[in-house]
Amino acid sequence: MAWFAVLADLRVPGDGAFAFTRPVGDTPRADAALERALRAAPGHEVLHFVPLYHPSADRAALAAALRAAAEPAGGATAPRAALLVGALTQSLGAADRRTLLPALATALGARRADPPSAASMRTRQRELDSLYLPALAPWLVLERLDRGRVLVIPAIGAEGRLFAGTADRADNLVAVGSFEGATDPAASLHAFVREICFPAVSRATNGARGFSVGDPASARRASLAAVRCGAALLDARLPARADAYRTFWLAQASQNSAAPSAGDSTENPASRPAAIREAFDRAFPPDAALATSLERAIARLARSR
Q: What is the pLDDT of residues 49-95, one digit of tens each?
A: 999 999 989 999 999 999 999 988 666 677 789 999 999 999 999 99
Q: Which of 78, 110, 142 is a domain's end point?
A: 110
Query: CA separation (Å) from 130 to 124, 137, 140, 143, 190?
Result: 10, 12, 15, 21, 15
For residues 160 and 17, the answer to whether their CB atoms sit within 8 Å is no
Q: Please tell me whether residues 167 and 226 are part of one structural domain.
A: yes
Q: Which residues pair with 161 in a beta bridge?
A: 175
Could you give the CA distance from residue 240 to residue 238 in angstroms, rounded to a whole number?
Answer: 6
Q: Please tell me whether residues 64 and 148 are part of one structural domain.
A: no
Q: What is the pLDDT of residue 171?
A: 87
Q: What is the pLDDT of residues 16-58, one digit of tens each?
A: 999 999 998 877 787 999 999 999 999 999 999 999 999 989 9
| Exposure string for 193-206, b = 16+ CB within 10 A, e = fewer | bbbbbbbbbebbbe
Q: Please tell me whether residues 39 and 172 are part of one structural domain.
A: no
User: Residues 136-155: what's their mean pLDDT?
Assistant: 95
Q: What is the pLDDT of residues 173-225, one digit of tens each?
A: 999 999 988 889 999 999 999 999 999 999 999 989 889 988 999 999 999 99
Evaluate if residue 272 carries a pLDDT over 90: no
Q: Please tell me whether residues 224 and 274 are part of one structural domain.
A: yes
Q: Please tell me whether residues 75 and 126 are part of one structural domain.
A: no
Q: Please tell me whether residues 147 and 282 are part of one structural domain.
A: yes
Q: What is the pLDDT of residue 74?
A: 60
Q: What is the pLDDT of residue 6?
A: 96
Query: CA separation (Å) from 95 to 45, 53, 100, 187?
Result: 16, 22, 8, 40
Residue 266 confidence class, pLDDT cut points 50, 70, 90:
very low
Could you give the CA distance from residue 10 to residue 98 in angstroms, rounded to a whole number?
Answer: 18
Q: What is the pLDDT of residue 276?
A: 95
Q: Please tell me whether residues 156 and 247 are part of one structural domain.
A: yes
Q: What is the pLDDT of residue 80?
A: 82
Q: Which of 85, 110, 135 is a domain's end point?
A: 110
Query: CA separation (Å) from 237 to 38, 45, 140, 260?
Result: 41, 33, 12, 26
Q: Please tell me whether residues 182 and 268 are part of one structural domain.
A: yes
Q: Please tell me whether residues 101 and 18 are part of one structural domain.
A: yes
Q: What is the pLDDT of residue 52?
A: 95
Q: What is the pLDDT of residue 94?
A: 95
Domain count, the chain: 2
Q: Please tell me whether residues 143 and 91 are part of one structural domain.
A: no
User: Residue 38 belongs to what domain range?
Assistant: 2-110
Query: CA separation (Å) from 46 to 112, 304, 305?
Result: 22, 35, 37
Evaluate if residue 152 carries a pLDDT over 90: yes
Q: Which of 79, 110, 141 is a domain's end point?
A: 110
Q: Please tell me whether residues 29 and 175 are part of one structural domain.
A: no
Q: What is the pLDDT of residue 267?
A: 46
Q: Please tell me whether residues 106 and 172 are part of one structural domain.
A: no
Could you give the CA distance from residue 178 to residue 186 in angstroms, rounded to a whole number?
Answer: 9
Phi and psi at 39, nearest 5°, equal: -65, -30
Tell me the pTM: 0.92
Query: CA separation (Å) from 241 to 49, 90, 237, 304?
Result: 29, 40, 9, 21
Give the residue with greater pLDDT, 150 vs 165: 150
Longest C-alpha distance within the chain, in Å? Answer: 61
Q: Where are the beta strands (DSSP E) in 139-239?
A: 149-153, 161-163, 173-177
